[in-house]
């Protein structure tokens, strides 16, 4: 965290954003830096362009990662991409534009409730904006880890290239039994007393630990 600004450090020490530093450290190759955050002028310009005040939590999110967010499985809003409709701000857009996660514009609620603008077809829980951003960032990070891209070093999430410890793939059957396609064949003899249930459909998997990647 030595490369972040004093403002970013202040935000990352709060309960609202403490998870962000931990997530980036665990999943991403590059640590957070001062260059990742949008400036107050950039955020003010976005607010003026959409004609709505931004909730405090959204301004803080842009201060932390507004210049680092990239399209991945879906598209997170940035100050330059932010748009509004009927008094609501779209903070995350599904990759085909089917749904958007939105919050009401204005600063009367620091961390407003986030909702899906297609509630008829998508049962999205009503949670605070910071929690919704946490969920979408983690979800799209996992999707990036499991993307069919080789080598693994090219896999990316909304905050850029994933760390070397991150591995992902699909469970598949082989002559020696099911294994994860992200891992090399294990040289150890399998336990013949355990029988794994086979599935006709590969199941996505991804994971990492502080000591390195693992399967299951």
Q: Cα–Cα distance between 155 and 149 in angstroms, integer?
A: 6
Q: Cα–Cα distance between 36 and 161 in angstroms, integer?
A: 14
Cβ contacts of residue 92 below 8 Å, gap of 6+?
74, 75, 76, 77, 100, 101, 132, 133, 136
- What are the residue ranges of helices labelled H in the chain? 6-12, 18-27, 40-50, 56-65, 129-145
Cβ atoms < 10 Å from Cβ of 150: 8
Antiparallel, parallel or unpaired: β 167-172 and 179-180: antiparallel
Q: 6-161: what CATH class?
A: alpha beta
Render each residue's pLDDT in the chain as its tens digit; 216 residues: 679 999 999 999 999 999 999 999 999 999 999 999 999 999 999 999 999 999 999 999 999 999 999 999 999 999 999 999 999 999 999 998 899 999 999 989 999 999 999 877 788 888 999 999 999 999 999 998 887 765 666 789 999 999 988 876 654 555 555 444 444 454 444 434 333 333 344 444 344 444 444 444
How is the chain split into domains, by residue range?
A: 6-161, 170-216
pTM as predicted: 0.78
């Amino acid at each position: 965290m030595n490369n972040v600004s004093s403002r970013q450090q202040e935000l990352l020490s709060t309960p609202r954003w403490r998870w962000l530093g931990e997530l980036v450290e665990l999943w991403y190759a590059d640590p957070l830096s001062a260059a990742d955050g949008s400036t107050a002028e950039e955020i003010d310009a976005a607010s003026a362009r959409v004609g709505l005040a931004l909730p405090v939590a959204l301004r803080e999110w842009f201060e932390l990662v507004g210049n680092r967010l990239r399209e991945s499985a879906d598209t997170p809003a940035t100050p330059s991409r932010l748009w509004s409709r009927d008094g609501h701000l779209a903070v995350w857009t599904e990759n085909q534009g089917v749904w958007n996660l939105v919050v009401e514009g204005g600063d009367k609620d620091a961390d407003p409730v986030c909702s899906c603008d297609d509630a008829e077809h998508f049962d999205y829980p009503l949670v605070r904006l910071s929690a919704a951003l946490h969920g979408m960032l983690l979800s799209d990070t996992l999707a990036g880890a499991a993307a069919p891209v080789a080598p693994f070093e090219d896999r990316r999430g909304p905050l850029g290239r994933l760390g070397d410890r991150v591995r992902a793939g699909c469970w598949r059957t082989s002559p020696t039994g099911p294994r994860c396609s992200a891992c090399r064949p294990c040289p150890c003899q399998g336990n013949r007393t355990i029988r794994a249930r086979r599935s006709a459909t590969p199941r996505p998997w991804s994971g990492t630990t502080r000591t390195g990647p693992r399967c299951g």
